[in-house]
Amino acid sequence: MASWPAHSFLLLLCLVLLAGTATPQTAPPLSVDAADRWARPGCQPKCGNVSIPYPFGIYSDSDCFRPGFEINCTSDGTPYLGLDCNIEVMDIQLLKGTLVVNHYIAKDCNYQNGSHPHTDSWINITGLPNYKFSHERNSFVAIGCDALGYISSDRESTFWTGCLSYCTDASSVPNDTCSGIGCCTAPIPMDLSDFSLLVTSFYNHSDSSFAPCSYAFLADESKFNFNLSSFTEYQNKEKAPVTLDWTIADQTCEEANGTDDFACVSPNSRCLNSNNGPGYLCNCSEGFQGNPYLNDSNGCLDINECSADPSPCVKRCHNTEGRYSCSCPWYMYGDGQRDGSGCTSILRILYLSLGVGLSLFFLIAIGSWLYWIYKKRKLGELKQHFFEKNGGSLRPDIRLFSSEELEAASDNYNQSRILGEGGFGTVYRGVLPDRNVIAIKKAKISNDEAEVQQFINEVEVLSRINHRNVVKLLGCCLESQVPMLVYEFVPNGTLAHHVHGEGHRGSLSLEARLRIASEVAGSLSYLHSAASTPVIHRDVKTTNILLDHDLTAKVSDFGASRLVPLDQNGLVSLVRGTFGYLDPEYFQTGEFTDKSDVYSFGVVLVELLTGKKPVAKTQAVKNLATLFIDCVNSGRLVEILEERVVDEGAPELLEAVTELAMRCLSLKSNDRPSMREVAMELEALIRWRIHPWGNVNVEEGDSLLAKVGSSSPSVLRDYVNSSVEPMVPFEIVR
């Protein structure tokens, strides 16, 4: 057998594929006589010039119509509804659910010969329950220059309405308007199946040549047009067209669907409830056309929209069952719809897009460059503004960090880097590129100039101080919206954390407490008397005392501190400080001195001895300083001291430290020792603890006692004779 050529095989394959592809059965194009094909097969499709689509049918064959839709076709080709009805059918509109019929006109005429014909009309279609007069398309009409027309119905509920038309002469009658001058109208109700007509006149119009009669009838508004000739036009007419609504049965779609008598039998058909009384109609679904009451080739078939002229698509049309789609060739774009964007050549738009794109590119590039220059300039101006606002004019002799450096060091101020938060700012842990760890204090964003002044003041104070027990200021950033300070990183938290923190109570030995107190006192003594310009801290408290890895104290937070000129003993300002640490005299007078720091230090010392917070939560006394003084004066010191302090401290040592604390807490500032005296006494007590009386010579002991203030075990004896109120002697009981 000879082998087939390759192209012949491909051609055969295409033919097989095409033969096996099912295409939807489409309806032929809808024409004027399309309804002629909608009668049942083998049934008479017309009566005279009127098409008879199913469910209507000629009465002679019972299989050609649905019961209730019989058409009586007379020998002269005139169709009538039913057998005994004299209603002539003019047109059947299947898909609209309407049909046009002729019905009688009521007349009242006055002729010059003296005759006065008067006709009342009555029409009844109650024998055909599927039909109602359309209240949407019909209106009651009365015509005449003195016409009073009535329409009424007595079935079920009484209906009666009418209208009056009037005119004086032909010149007063407007054309194309039925508004009461020569012609009037009235609406009719829904569900109207029979009615009576009556028209009458008040005057004799026999001398009127243009309007001798008055008329009343029901008219289809789309087929009725009133003008001057209407007065004589209806003299020789007995009937006028009116539109009926028809429905299937008296059920709704929901009630009829699924029953054996359901009329919507064609696939792709849908059911619609009537809007004029009970009943339903059938229609084809969108994209289909035909007779929805037939289940054959004349039923609802797919509309081939692509065969329409013109086609709905400008290039390619693809018909599918119930719908269609448009597409463009590969070298074009768009939706392909004739009434949409159509199809546009890609090459045309390509050239246009290229030109527009290049223009936009250059505009964007130039605009971006100019915007970058503008933003850089504005950023520089903003940084300079912040620099001057945040105290840049002071030119402190410390390193100035950029805002970008600190953002990178703190991982953009990540929440996980927060070391602590206060009323004026947040402290973050930062790591510089050289791996050095720093602490960054960032002010809270605020428009309060006082808060900014706190930071400026801290820079000014710390830039003048260099002491091992004062936290070291490494630099600052003044070019951001809020100023930022950079400190050495103190890794062991605050003294308050070690004294009061959960799980840390009692963790510090008495030796460590005395050493920390001595270091704090030494730093405050340096600030008060050894610095180039004396500094009053004004906020001494355990949360402002940091501890490094060796528990070495570092005094911090100098935002409220003030530089004191050498020729001034005290300054007056608004009261600043923390409740529980605040000097009572400063609180009352508003004048702060170095003795204000002494009082606050006394509270810190009491915290170290008792382990209690500065605000004690007891019913009797809430202030720790007051509670401590009360316990000392009443001989109950041991009750308030922390257990470890009592266990590790000799009675003489505890009495001496207690006496020192009491002196610091004196209500009068003049009765308080200076911080230099406090530092010296604490240093002496530490040395005494290391070298007790039994282990040192008399000379050394005498020198120590001179510093402590007594050579007897009771170091409070001198305090009894001091200016403060006398204290009740006490005894440390183990």
Report the run of H or E that residue 241 belongs to, with start and end.
strand 239-246
Hey, which residues does 59 pair with through a beta bridge? none
The Cα 340–Cα 43 span in angstroms is 44
pLDDT at 141 over 50: yes
The Cα 296–Cα 42 span in angstroms is 13
Average pLDDT for 539-561: 89
SS (H, E, C) 536-561: ECCCCCHHHEEECCCCCEEECCCCCC
User: How crowded is residue 654: how many other Cβ atoms within 10 Å of its Cβ?
Assistant: 22
Average pLDDT for 179-200: 90
Report the run of H or E that residue 178 belongs to, with start and end.
none
pLDDT at 100 over 90: yes
The Cα 704–Cα 680 span in angstroms is 10
Least confident of 84-93, 493-502, 512-521: 84-93
Residue whose entry in the numeric block shows the structure tokens 């009537």: 274
pLDDT digits (tens, 9 = 90+) for 342-376: 898 887 777 888 888 898 999 999 988 888 887 77
733, 595, 594: which is closest to 663 by C-alpha? Answer: 595
The Cα 226–Cα 275 span in angstroms is 28
The segment(s) of the chain belonging to CATH 1.10.510.10 are 495-720
Are 75 and 58 in contact by the 8 Å Cβ rule? The answer is no
SS3 label, residue 679: helix
What pLDDT does residue 406 have? 92
Higher-confidence residue of 598 and 235: namely 598
pLDDT digits (tens, 9 = 90+) for 45-78: 999 999 999 999 998 887 899 988 999 999 899 9
Rg (CA), the chain: 56
Asked if the bond preceding 79 is cis, omega within 30° of 0, the reply is no
Are 51 and 62 in contact by the 8 Å Cβ rule? The answer is no
What pLDDT does residue 325 have? 92
SS3 label, residue 359: helix
Of the pLDDT bands very low, low, confident and very high (cuts 50, 70, 90), residue 708 is very low
How far apart, in Å, do the first and last CA atoms of the chain sit? 126
pLDDT digits (tens, 9 = 90+) for 368-395: 888 888 777 766 665 565 566 655 555 5
Report the run of H or E that residue 335 belongs to, with start and end.
none
What pLDDT does residue 154 have? 77
Per CATH, the number for 495-720 is 1.10.510.10
In terms of average pLDDT, the best of 84-88, 175-179, 463-467, 718-722 is 175-179
Least confident of 30-44, 221-235, 279-293, 404-418: 30-44
The Cα 676–Cα 521 span in angstroms is 8
Residue whose entry in the numeric block shows the structure tokens 């608004």: 574
What pLDDT does residue 271 have? 95
Report the run of H or E that residue 360 belongs to, with start and end.
helix 346-389
The segment(s) of the chain belonging to CATH 3.30.200.20 are 385-488
Higher-confidence residue of 532 and 305: namely 305
Average pLDDT for 465-486: 85
Task: Give Cα 609 distance to the centre of its chain.
Answer: 57
SS3 label, residue 427: strand
pLDDT digits (tens, 9 = 90+) for 574-620: 667 788 899 999 888 888 889 999 999 999 999 999 999 998 665 56
In 629-705, which ranges are E strands? none
Instruction: Return left, alpha or beta for 54; rule: phi > 0 is left, psi -120 to 50 is alpha, else beta.
Output: beta
Q: Is 389 exposed, middle or buried (0-12, 13-18, 19+ CB in 10 A)?
A: middle
pLDDT digits (tens, 9 = 90+) for 622-642: 789 999 999 999 999 999 999
What pLDDT does residue 8 have? 37
Are 107 and 118 in contact by the 8 Å Cβ rule? The answer is yes
What pLDDT does residue 157 have? 66
Catalogue the active-site residues. 539
What pLDDT does residue 247 have? 92
Of the pLDDT bands very low, low, confident and very high (cuts 50, 70, 90), residue 713 is very low
Task: Give Cα 188 distance to the centre of its chain.
Answer: 52
The Cα 451–Cα 353 span in angstroms is 56
Q: Give whole-number Cα distances, 249 to 55, 128, 255, 282, in Å.
A: 12, 11, 11, 12
Tell me the average pLDDT of the chain.
Answer: 80
Of the pLDDT bands very low, low, confident and very high (cuts 50, 70, 90), residue 281 is very high
Higher-confidence residue of 145 and 387: namely 145
What pLDDT does residue 617 have? 61
pLDDT at 719 over 70: no
What pLDDT does residue 573 have? 59
Token pair of 718 as six digits: 């001198």
Instruction: Please give the CATH architecture assigned to the domain spanning 385-488.
Output: 2-Layer Sandwich (3.30)
Report the residue count for the chain: 734
Of the pLDDT bands very low, low, confident and very high (cuts 50, 70, 90), residue 654 is very high
pLDDT digits (tens, 9 = 90+) for 321-342: 889 999 999 888 889 999 888 8
**Hey, what amino acid is at 591?**
E
